[in-house]
């Protein structure tokens, strides 16, 4: 392969990203590359620290105090509201939503986004299942619960999977509707926080379960977003090469 041809193609690719790059994606991607990596590293460290404390059984006083404080907030109407909120964070519900959205993305020929969303959801559910089995932490039993739960407690599947799926959906929307990205991210953060709070209010998780779920979910979310953007960049470069 002639050297001058390689140099010519390299200059074309660089010029493409400088002049024709998607202005909606590149600023967001730059922020994720810097802040996202640091935040993911911090989240991973946080999960490891919490997991160590849980294994040593040193979080019980903290966990119990928060749940007992939340018990004082219970009212019939708030019980119903929390049950509704916790439903939209149910991993099985999120799996169905992800498959529906992924199918729609495939129909719109957005194969990279559809594949990444499916991997994000299945990976989050699978990883949560493995972590629960690894730590085998019992759920709190401080009062009679109004919802049925099974399996282990740590980390919270609702917190982890909802952060991954709603986070991924909000990222896809933000890259398409750049003008509204602040509103999209704000609503998403409030929804994810409400889901985590509902698990504590209903007494089905310890606070450290929810925090650890968020931490693990954030690490997986960043990994999925990175894979999506690498896929998009390679596709754009390949299309440029084919055009020339």
User: pLDDT: is 188 or 25 the higher one?
Assistant: 188
* pLDDT score for 60: 86
Inform me whether the pLDDT recorded for 187 exceeds 90.
yes
In a domain, 4, yes or no: no
User: Cα–Cα distance between 5 and 125 in angstroms, integer?
Assistant: 47
Q: Which domain holds residue 193?
A: 32-56+77-140+151-243
How many distinct structural domains can be found in the chain?
1
In a domain, 97, yes or no: yes
Q: What is the arithmetic mean of pLDDT over 22-49?
A: 63
Residue pLDDT, tens place only, 49-108:
888 888 888 888 899 999 999 988 889 999 999 999 999 999 999 999 999 999 999 988
In a domain, 68, yes or no: no
Confidence class for position 31, pLDDT limits 50, 70, 90: low
User: pLDDT: is 146 or 196 the higher one?
Assistant: 196
* pLDDT score for 137: 87
Confidence class for position 33, pLDDT limits 50, 70, 90: low
User: Cα–Cα distance between 185 and 224 in angstroms, integer?
Assistant: 17
Q: What is the arithmetic mean of pLDDT over 12-36?
A: 50
**Among the listed ranges 122-131, 140-149, 203-212, 234-243, which one has the minimum average pLDDT value?**
234-243
CB atoms within 10 A of CB 165: 26
In a domain, 5, yes or no: no
Residues of the chain with pLDDT > 90, as a percent, come to 44
In a domain, 112, yes or no: yes
């Amino acid at each position: 392969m002639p050297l001058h041809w390689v140099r010519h193609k390299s200059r074309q690719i660089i010029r493409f990203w400088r002049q024709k790059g998607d202005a909606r994606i590149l600023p967001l991607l730059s922020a994720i590359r810097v802040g996202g990596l640091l935040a993911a590293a911090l989240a991973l460290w946080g999960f490891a620290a919490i997991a160590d404390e849980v294994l040593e059984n040193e979080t019980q006083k903290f966990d119990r105090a928060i749940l007992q404080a939340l018990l004082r907030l219970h009212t019939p109407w708030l019980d119903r509201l929390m049950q509704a909120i916790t439903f939209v964070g149910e991993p099985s519900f999120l799996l169905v939503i992800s498959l529906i959205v992924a199918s729609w993305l495939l129909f719109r020929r957005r194969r990279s986004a559809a594949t990444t969303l499916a991997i994000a959801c299945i990976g989050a559910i699978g990883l949560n299942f493995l972590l629960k089995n690894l730590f085998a932490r019992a759920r709190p039993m401080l009062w009679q619960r109004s919802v049925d739960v099974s399996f282990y407690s740590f980390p919270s599947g609702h917190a982890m999977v909802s952060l991954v799926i709603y986070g991924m959906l909000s990222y896809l929307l933000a890259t398409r509707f750049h003008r509204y990205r602040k509103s999209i991210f704000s609503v998403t953060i409030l929804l994810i926080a409400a889901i985590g709070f509902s698990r504590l209010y209903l007494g089905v998780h310890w606070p450290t379960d929810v925090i650890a779920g968020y931490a693990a979910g954030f690490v997986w979310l960043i990994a999925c977003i990175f894979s999506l953007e690498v896929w998009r960049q390679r596709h754009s470069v390949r299309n440029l090469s084919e055009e020339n």
